[in-house]
Chains A and B, each alone.
Chain A
Amino acid sequence: MNPSRRHILALGGSLCTVLLAPRRVLAAPVELIEMRGTARGESVWFAPRGLAVAPGTVLRFVNRDKGNSHTATAYHPEIFDRARRIPAAATPWDSDFLLPDESFEVTLTEPGVYDFYCIPHEMSGMVGRIVVGTPDAPRWESAAGPSDDVSQTVLDALPPVEEILSRGRIEEDTR
């Protein structure tokens, strides 16, 4: 091996180290939330519908329902003028309609409870709840209570925060 080639290889190795190391450091945890439905659309749901994550976690919503489109939309006045059900300091999100196999990502950094829904299926109780961090975290914001803005169907479908924190994730268990 001549010196110039050795130098090139060494330089390449150094570059790889430099390029790869920061990615390991910066990589945020990613959690998958699937949008699912039965073949004929009798039932639709988020899986999981309750999830506890650390601040900074990336949520990836993926539509696994071959016969329907879905959204993951935060309850927030900036989006369809809904009552806020995410922490005050959090940025609201709306995935828009996802066709089968399409996906959308959002990163949640503010500690607290986030409720979200599927625009065309909220009436059927297709909602979910994410708990970011724990109640002892600074700026923690608890779950929003009942309001005229959401139906009893929605409230019944949202898992209790305590259950999400104790179990980590709550899958739809009635399908």
Chain B
Amino acid sequence: MKLSTAVLAIAAMTFTGPALAQTKDAMMTSPPGDPYVQVSDVLPLPEFLPGLGTLFVDPGTLPAGPFLSYDHDGKLSATVYMTPLEELQNGTAYDGLSLGADTVTGVDIYYNAGHPGVEAPHAHVVLFHDDGAKGRLAE
């Protein structure tokens, strides 16, 4: 719902620091710092999502992200994008999206029916950053 997006936006405003782009090194471990917020802190979702890990996002980049995905040890394991299908069909393009890390060892793309924050049916595009990432995020 739009309500959830509004919650994220409000949460973003509470982080008063300047929205400095984080260096890749700073994002390699959780938490990545401003302007990223932990998704489960601002939306009713489990802290660790099976398959996606613990997610952080800059609310200003919603809905596409990037969402930074961390494993149980706080290691950046994947960068995730969420692209509503209807928006794509209507001509919206998500170009120039940033990466959590430059190394990508595998990509999964699949349909998602929606969840708090991105309620519209959308695609999950998951870029794994090392060979063991997918396994660490599974459970």
A-to-B contact residues, CB < 8 Å:
37, 39-44, 66-69, 96-97, 99-100, 119-121, 123-124, 126
The A contact surface, by secondary structure, is loop
Q: Considering the complex of A and B, which 5 residue pairs feature the smallest CB-CB distances, nearest first?
A: A97-B44, A124-B113, A41-B112, A69-B44, A120-B119
A/B pair count, beta carbons within 8 Å = 61
Please state if B50 and A123 are interface contacts (CB–CB under 8 Å).
no
* Interface range on chain B (Cβ under 8 Å from partner): 20 to 34
Roughly how many angstroms separate A124 CA and B122 CA in the complex, as a whole number? 11
B-to-A contact residues, CB < 8 Å:
1, 4, 44-46, 49-52, 110-116, 119-121, 124
Please state if B51 and A121 are interface contacts (CB–CB under 8 Å).
no
Please state if A40 and B112 are interface contacts (CB–CB under 8 Å).
yes
The B contact surface, by secondary structure, is loop
Extra contacts besides A39-B51, A97-B44 (5): CB < 8 Å: A41-B115, A41-B124, A42-B112, A96-B44, A99-B45
Residue in chain A with minimal CB distance to B52: A67
Residue from the list A39, A96, A99 in contact with B50, Cβ < 8 A: A39
Roughly how many angstroms separate A78 CA and B115 CA in the complex, as a whole number? 23
